[in-house]
Amino acid sequence: MFDKIIYISDQGANIKLKEDAELAINLMNLHLIFEDKDKTVLGEVDDLSDGVVKARFLGEITNGRLVGGVLRKPSLDAKVRVIKQEEIPMIVGEDKKGYMPLGVSPFYNDFPVYLDVNNFFSNHFAIFGNSGSGKSCGISRIMQNMFEDERLFPYKSNILLFDSSGEYYNAFKDLNKINPNYNYRFITTNEVDGVGEPLRLPIFLLNEDDLTILLQATEHSQLPIIERMLKLARIFASTGVDANKYKNHLIAKAIMTILYTNQTAPNKRNDVFSILNSCSTDQFNLEAPVQGIGYVRKFRECFLIDNHGQFSESVLLTEYVSSFINDEYDNFEPRKDCYYTLEDLEKALNFTLISEGWLRNENTYGDSVTLKVRLHSLITSSNSNFFKWEKGTYISLESYLSDLMISNGKKYQLVNINLDDVDDDFAKVITKIYSRLLFEFTKALKDRASIPFHIFVEEAHRYIQNDTDRFLIGYNIFERIAKEGRKYGLILGLITQRPVEMSDTVISQCSNFLIFKMNHPTDVDYIKKMVPNISDEIVEKQKSLQSGTCLGFGSAFKIPLIVKLKMPNPMPLSGNCDVVRIWDGHANNVIQQPQSTEVTNVQPQVNQSYTPNINVNNINNGIPEVNSNTIINQPIQQQEMPQTSSVIEPLISNQATTSSIRNDGQTMGTTFNIGQSVESNSIGANQMNPSEINTINSNPINNQINTNAINNQPGVVNPIPEINLNNQNEAI
């Protein structure tokens, strides 16, 4: 087929053909092996012209393993051949433990492509593509493959999926049918439909930075107001002798400050009464008794105005108020683990603005009123429901996250947070707050990266932007996670159709990319500039991809690969509107999506008494024990290796046809003849050796519960009854 190498450069080589041009057409995008005396180099065919093949160098093969990059180029005497079938796993990944199915290669008779699980899920990744290119189906298929793979057991995975349009519920709602140990949780901002659980994020878990974002602060002058408001809210919510003395000290100083202003007496009285409306004690309230010499006045009576426009009991009032001032309390720091509400924050804000004169200063009046209006608008809106918590009950960050991932005796591997029913600004706030909480939690772990969390953000360009956070609070939480989160086990997964609108810093820190078809020149140029280790050849390849086919490259791939993904089953609700069907008078307004295969939901026998609503020392300690990786008779559809000669006969690209959406396991996009052999295998507790269970988590699967913190024994998920494989109706 190949005559000789006629030219070698740093990037590739030109090879003269000795076969006819018709056969040469089949070589496009296939891989070549350059065999030299002391080295073997892998290349890829980029161009065919006038009987000359132009190949680009991809990596060196050493001891049967491919290493990306070429330090030593082949010589002109090197032999050139097409890659052999047994060598293909070297570039597309191996069918072994630690790898999971991703898709198939359209250039090698749909040869299976496997993903390096650790290198993919331990690093930030991004999925780019136009609307309709297959992004949502792609991430759904990847997640379904992960949970269906019998060699993996992601029981301790903690995945938070921020769903901007509510499309993933259908794709993951049957997760428990794959394995009874797996559980899916749907949390939603829609409190009307009755599907899922309402979103609840306690306001007292938010810090100054979160409140700055929540109240949409824009000026540095607003930051000390927010900081003071938060401190006062915690003080007002505190109880005890010292807390009460400090409250009296604060109120007294605020009243004295007001009394010595140059305002009129009526205005002073109004400010004092507003202070007491925000915070009052037994000593400071409108009905509190004030002892004079031989008489007693109520506190409100001390503010009666005489004929001279002054307070009639100004001396008594001054003496009484000043008696509660104690300078030792100026440095008092309240406890942070206390319960308070949005209404408490509003009272603290009013106290701050009045007592410290923010509203009397013309330079700060506008910024102060803006915060006051925004907080009040939040309280009176339906969004305030998301920050409510059980009255009087404080929950720590660790306990909150424990309840999020473990509830009613179940360990949730995937928590889908649906943000479809709130506007983009508020959805961005929610996403940032959750991300900040997860970052603080993982960073504070004694054993670094011992509890990994994954944050998947759909429509990431709406939330991960070059906004004002860095200007105001000194950082953007997503940029901080992108730069530091990996070492703490906090991983970002970004799905977007407009990477140009996203933060440059976040994209630059991604190690793996799945790029579906993108046409917009601005986005294409942006990818070329921002994505690390991307070449012009890769950029050009993605322009011609079919729907459901992506270009994968990064640390989890040996070389950049074009991968055709199988349709997810069930599908996410991301299909197009069926306009013709609606015009014909049908009620269904979405193209018919394939339904999940009918399955027999074999429920395990459980004896569960564990409730995780406690403050545990470690989330891993609160996970219910399970006996084994119990896949319910649903093996991965493994592709049988093509039975051909030792040299792969490449496909001719013009034989491809476009597929339609079907419920028969067809792959997305291009349809090729796939030779598959489905191997039925059901793993039960009696069939699987526990030593064979694989998990990314370094901790053992059967973690023991901290009995000092948990009185009740956790439920143990018993193995499911063995299914008769001879009865095909019982198979999934």
User: Residue by residue, what is the 3-state secondary structure of 454-507?
Assistant: EEEEECHHHCCCCCCHHHHHCCCHHHHHHHHHHHHCEEEEEEECCHHHCCHHHH
Beta carbons within 8 Å of 187's beta carbon, 6+ residues apart = 196, 197, 198, 199, 415, 416, 417, 418
Distance CA(31)–CA(285), nearest Å, equals 83
- Of 294 and 719, the structure prediction assigns the larger pLDDT to 294
Query: Is 82 strand, coil or helix?
Result: strand
Helix (H) or strand (E) holding 289: strand 289-291
Beta strands (DSSP E) in 389-452 are 406-407, 410-411, 414-418
At 543, the pLDDT band (50, 70, 90 cuts) reads confident
User: How does pLDDT run across 449-494, given as a tens digit for each residue?
Assistant: 999 999 999 999 999 998 888 899 999 999 999 999 999 999 999 9
CB 499 within 8 A of CB 542: no
- Of 518 and 670, the structure prediction assigns the larger pLDDT to 518
At 631, the pLDDT band (50, 70, 90 cuts) reads low
- Of 464 and 630, the structure prediction assigns the larger pLDDT to 464
- Count how many Cα atoms sit within 13 Å of the Cα of residue 585 in the half-sphere of its side chain: 0
Query: Is 692 strand, coil or helix?
Result: helix
Cβ neighbours of 705 (radius 10 Å): 18
Torsion of CA 305, 310, 311, 315, to 10 degrees: -160
CB 182 within 8 A of CB 413: yes
Report pLDDT for 82.
92
Helix (H) or strand (E) holding 271: helix 265-278
- Count how many Cα atoms sit within 13 Å of the Cα of residue 194 in the half-sphere of its side chain: 0
Report pLDDT for 27.
80
Q: Could you give the residue ranges of the DSSP H alpha helices within 492-647?
A: 504-508, 521-530, 536-542, 579-583
Cβ neighbours of 222 (radius 10 Å): 20
Report pLDDT for 53.
92
- Single pTM value for the model: 0.79
- Of 296 and 670, the structure prediction assigns the larger pLDDT to 296
Report pLDDT for 186.
97
User: How does pLDDT run across 366-413, given as a tens digit for each residue?
Assistant: 999 999 999 999 999 999 999 999 999 999 999 999 999 999 889 999
Judge whether residue 665 has pLDDT over 70. Answer: no
If you average pLDDT over residues 510-531, what whole number do you get?
A: 87
At 50, the pLDDT band (50, 70, 90 cuts) reads confident
Q: Show the CA angle centred on residue 27, arms to residues 23 and 33, nearest 5°.
A: 120
Alpha carbon 181 to its chain centroid, in Å, reads 22
CB 105 within 8 A of CB 60: no
- Of 38 and 200, the structure prediction assigns the larger pLDDT to 200
Percent of the chain past pLDDT 90, that is, above it, reads 57
Report pLDDT for 386.
97
User: How does pLDDT run across 283-335, given as a tens digit for each residue?
Assistant: 999 999 999 888 999 999 999 999 989 999 999 999 999 999 988 888 888 88
If you average pLDDT over residues 104-126, what whole number do you get?
A: 94
Query: Is 113 strand, coil or helix?
Result: strand
Report pLDDT for 555.
92
Distance CA(23)–CA(56), nearest Å, equals 20
Judge whether residue 642 has pLDDT over 60. Answer: no
Average pLDDT of the chain? Answer: 82
CB 180 within 8 A of CB 717: yes
Report pLDDT for 589.
57
> Which of the residue ranges 194-198, 494-498, 673-677 would you say has the lowest mean pLDDT?
673-677
CB 373 within 8 A of CB 364: no
CB 412 within 8 A of CB 406: yes
Q: What does the radius of gyration of the chain's CA atoms come to, in whole angstroms?
A: 32
φ and ψ at residue 185, rounded to 5 degrees = -120, 130
Alpha carbon 178 to its chain centroid, in Å, reads 23
- Count how many Cα atoms sit within 13 Å of the Cα of residue 561 in the half-sphere of its side chain: 30
Beta carbons within 8 Å of 584's beta carbon, 6+ residues apart = none
Report pLDDT for 705.
35
- Return the bridge partners of 35, or none: 40, 79
User: How does pLDDT run across 571-619, given as a tens digit for each residue?
Assistant: 998 877 888 888 887 766 554 444 444 433 333 333 333 333 434 446 6
Judge whether residue 49 has pLDDT over 90. Answer: no
Query: Is 370 strand, coil or helix?
Result: helix
Domains of the chain: 2-87 (2.40.10), 104-202+395-583 (3.40.50.300), 209-380 (no CATH)
Residue 385, both tokens: 């429901």
Question: What is the pairing mode between strands 52-62 and 12-17?
Answer: antiparallel
